[in-house]
Amino acid sequence: MDAFFETPGFADTLRAAGRDRLLSRVTMQIQSGGIPRALEAYAAASTPNIVLLELGSRDLELERSKLESFAEACDVDTKVIVAGSTNDVDFYRWLRENGVSDYLLLPTGDAAVVDVLYRAMNIGRSAGRVIAFLGAKGGVGSSVLCHHVAAETARKSGKPSLLVDLDVGFGTAALNFDLTPLKGVAELLFSSVAGEAEAVEKFVLRADSNLSLIGTGASLLRGIAITPEHIERTIRRFRESYSYTFLDLPHEWSDWIRNALIDVDDIVVVAAPDIAGLRNTKAMFEALRQMRPNDEDPRLILNMAGVRGRQELRARDFQAAAGKEPDLVMPFAPETFSEAATEGKLIFDVAARSAEARKLQNFAGVVVPNLRVDTTESGNLMSRLFSKSKA
Ligand SMILES: Nc1ncnc2c1ncn2[C@@H]1O[C@H](COP(=O)(O)OP(=O)(O)O)[C@@H](O)[C@H]1O
Ligand SMILES: [Mg+2]
């Protein structure tokens, strides 16, 4: 897209909007000179997908005639957004009748600019939330914690939720829910004929009443490479169908993983309290902050803390190195975790009253805001009365 501003204030707003994560793949050229400069620019070149024009004055007659000449230079499939400080219904109507897709009333903040651009690009902000879990190292519990947080979110929110195992060929999501994956994520992502035409629902297993699961059941004999374009498209489809989607990512730093990390709403990094965990967490936080400058920091879990006899780093060491205090410190609890894994159950089921279960439940409320107010506390009076009378 190209943007032609008239005032330096709006140029700053445009630059701030351009740093938004979902616009990070949009090539945004910001130039001064307003409509006259745009006319020069497109005298010989064709117009891009989106052109944003700031009006140079409040003289509506003059601005109308400039826009009319611009319309002649503009390709039919280019979306035109106009920004100006005039608040006039007739002018607005005239713009719409003449094919302008949106009018930004100035002054405005970068959030409003981002919204208008999302609209022009058909990116829905209101669609479902996507949360990715990623280990700072392999084997640190990223998957198992992801599965628990997904299950807790589905249960407490009561909203359709999806857990996607992206550790193609090696994933444990289906195992952890005692399910056998039939058609896995690999098929969904790569048999583009079937995958594109059919609803995501066709590929899922039911793990719990509100939790669907896409497990990996791919044969290791067939090589599978997820591409950045595939993951982007698939995440968009998940978002359309589910309120919450949890991506269980393998421990890699490839192109498609980086693309996924740009697309998701929230990231949870899981690290073990050792030197490699610390170093990788620091590197990942630095990279993620650069990739997502307008977003909050990722969440950080320190997992498997307190192994007897092991020298361990602490939360404050992570705070010092990565600039992020862990949101959750999870103790090493081999009995609980291995019992759950062996039975294909969650620790909420095998050890409902354990500290680990409680910590994970609280953490789900941190990752997915508003989750906590949904049920337990507000509770339903009748059910509380019943539970009392039963006791
Ligand atoms: N806090 C913990 N205490 C004990 N065992 C754990 C803990 N967290 C995870 N595990 C176990 O560690 C193993 C590896 O976990 P997994 O989630 O597959 O790691 P990753 O996805 O990071 O490779 C699993 O057997 C899991 O049950
Ligand atoms: Mg894993």
Q: Which of 139-148, 278-287, 304-313, 373-382 has the lowest mean pLDDT?
A: 373-382
Pick the atom of ligand 1 nearest to 330's CA: 1
What average pLDDT does range 90-101 have in this prediction? 92
To which residue do tokens 């409040």 refer? 58
- pLDDT attached to residue 196: 66
Pick the atom of ligand 1 nearest to 250's CA: 21
Q: Which of 77-91, 226-240, 317-331 has the lowest mean pLDDT?
A: 226-240
The ligand minimizing its distance to the Cα of 166 is 2
Between 191 and 43, residue with greater pLDDT: 43
Write out 155-188 in H/E/C secondary structure: HHHCCCEEEEECCCCCCCHHHHCCCCCCCCHHHH
Residues 78, 106 contacting (CB under 8 angstroms) = no
Q: Which of 208-217, 301-310, 317-326 has the lowest mean pLDDT?
A: 208-217
Between 123 and 277, residue with greater pLDDT: 277
Q: Tell me, what amino acid is at 303?
A: N
What average pLDDT does range 36-53 have in this prediction? 95
- Within 8 A by CB and 6+ apart from 264, the residues are 130, 131, 132, 235, 247
Is residue 344 over pLDDT 90? Answer: yes
Is residue 316 over pLDDT 50? Answer: yes
- pLDDT attached to residue 137: 96
Is residue 223 over pLDDT 90? Answer: no
Please give the Cα distance from 318 to 355 (Å, whole number).
23
pLDDT classification of 388: cutoffs 50, 70, 90: very low
- Within 8 A by CB and 6+ apart from 205, the residues are 174, 177, 179, 181, 182, 212, 213, 214, 215
Q: How many CB atoms lie within 10 A of CB 228?
A: 17
- pLDDT attached to residue 197: 62
- pLDDT attached to residue 286: 96
**Portion of the chain with pLDDT greater than 90, in percent:** 65
- pLDDT attached to residue 218: 58
Residue with the smallest CA separation from ligand 1 atom 24 is 141
Helices (H) and strands (E) in the chain, counts: 18, 13
Which residues line the pocket of ligand 1, CB cutoff 6 A? 135, 138-144, 172, 303-304, 330, 332-334, 337, 341
Residue with the smallest CA separation from ligand 1 atom 9 is 141
What average pLDDT does range 228-255 have in this prediction? 90
- pLDDT attached to residue 7: 97
- pLDDT attached to residue 32: 97
Residues 161, 243 contacting (CB under 8 angstroms) = yes
Tokens of 4: 């032609």
Residues 213, 173 contacting (CB under 8 angstroms) = yes
Residue ranges of domains in the chain, CATH in brackets: 2-121 (3.40.50.2300), 129-381 (3.40.50.300)
pLDDT classification of 118: cutoffs 50, 70, 90: confident
Is residue 89 over pLDDT 50? Answer: yes
- pLDDT attached to residue 326: 97
> Which whole-number Å values give the CA distances from 234 to 47, 123, 190, 266, 289, in the listed order?
29, 14, 10, 17, 24
pLDDT classification of 390: cutoffs 50, 70, 90: very low
What average pLDDT does range 315-332 have in this prediction? 96
Please give the Cα distance from 196 to 192 (Å, whole number).
5
- The chain-wide mean pLDDT, for the chain, equals 88
| CA 143 to ligand 1 centroid distance, Å | 7
Pick the atom of ligand 1 nearest to 248's CA: 21
Which DSSP symbol is given to 354? S
Is residue 384 over pLDDT 50? Answer: no
- pLDDT attached to residue 205: 87
Pick the atom of ligand 1 nearest to 331's CA: 1
DSSP codes joined into one string, 41-75: HTTTS---SEEEEE-S-S-HHHHHHHHHHHHHHS-
pLDDT classification of 82: cutoffs 50, 70, 90: very high
Is residue 126 over pLDDT 60? Answer: no
| CA 318 to ligand 1 centroid distance, Å | 20
The residue to mutate among 133, 144, 268, 307, having the most atoms of ligand 1 within 8 angstroms of its beta carbon, is 144
Residues 255, 225 contacting (CB under 8 angstroms) = no
State pLDDT tens for residues 349-380.
999 999 999 999 999 999 997 775 434 433 44
